[in-house]
Chains A and B, each alone.
Chain A
Amino acid sequence: MFAWLNKNFLSLRAFYINTTWLIPWIMTGFSLCFIYGMFTGLFIAPADYQQGDGFRIIYVHVPSAFAAMFIYLMMAICAMITLIWRVKITAICMSCSGPIGAWFTLLALITGSIWGKPMWGTWWIWDARLTSVLILLFIYLGFIALQSAIENSRTRDLATSIMTIVGIINLPIIHYSVIWWNTLHQGPTISKLSAPSIASSMLYPLLAMISAFILFYFLIVVIRMRNQILMREIKS
């Protein structure tokens, strides 16, 4: 079973061949979702009665935050597989995902603070959600730093795997402790970033944007993985 998997999906060559036809499909899916989400999100969806049109930032903020966490989860799964079975393709996937995840986290922070300005009257607030996203950014940066510090590719793959796993164990703890910290310090209790019982006309564009962002991640990661595979081919 493992040999079959290895032959058809896990070997670098098979991955390269299999993804050749996959890229256009991902691209189409991404474009459809993105254009639909953008258009309906910006123009069709009704304005929120509390926040007016300001809530429309949700269509870029929430998907990027979601993608940032999704990418970390993907990395952690890849790290597990790399450590247990020493599969190369997952190690490449993990190393390519890191920078993309960092970009999405940064995007979530920027859009979050742009949203915060009209809603809270300030660019930055030490709100539980923003703070934990900020910490996620630090973890991503640490990952990238470790990755660039180790020269030997095999050591690098395994070391970053361990680091990612430490991160995934820690993230829930960090998240809940930050929430507790937030209530302790009696920060402003406006939780406008969460939109409770959202109307379906507002929800569909959001779902479309979330899938667009995830597809975008897959698109970039596949392109970059193919690059890495070629790179390793050249080196050997």
Chain B
Amino acid sequence: MISDYGIYIWSAYSITIFILGLNIFFALREKRKILHLLKKS
């Protein structure tokens, strides 16, 4: 198990997952917006 530097490792991993999630979020939000536009037109 992780014994030393725990806080650094966890923060690095959580930031990674956060940024990856942010990318997915942006892409999907863009998609939702465009689908909304498509429905209107």
Touch A–B, Cβ below 8 Å: yes
- On A, residues with C-beta under 8 Å from B are 38, 42-43, 47, 52-54, 56-57, 60-61, 64, 100, 103, 106-107, 110-111, 114-115, 117-118, 216, 220, 223-224, 226-227, 230-231, 234
Other A-B contacts than A53-B3, A56-B9, A117-B8, 18 sampled, CB-CB below 8 A, are: A42-B13, A53-B4, A53-B6, A61-B12, A64-B16, A103-B22, A114-B8, A115-B12, A118-B5, A118-B8, A223-B27, A223-B28, A223-B31, A224-B30, A230-B35, A234-B34, A234-B37, A234-B38
20 contacts between A and B (CB under 8 A): A42-B2, A42-B9, A43-B1, A53-B5, A53-B6, A53-B9, A54-B4, A54-B9, A56-B2, A60-B16, A64-B16, A111-B15, A118-B5, A220-B27, A223-B27, A224-B30, A226-B31, A227-B27, A227-B34, A230-B35
Contacting pair A57 B9 (CB below 8 A): yes
Say whether chain B's binding surface is mostly helix, strand, loop, or mixed.
helix
Number of interface residues of B (CB under 8 A): 27
A103 CB contacts on chain B under 8 angstroms: 19, 22-23
CA distance A60 to B38 in the complex (A): 38
CA distance A57 to B6 in the complex (A): 10
Say whether chain A's binding surface is mostly helix, strand, loop, or mixed.
helix
Contacting pair A107 B9 (CB below 8 A): no
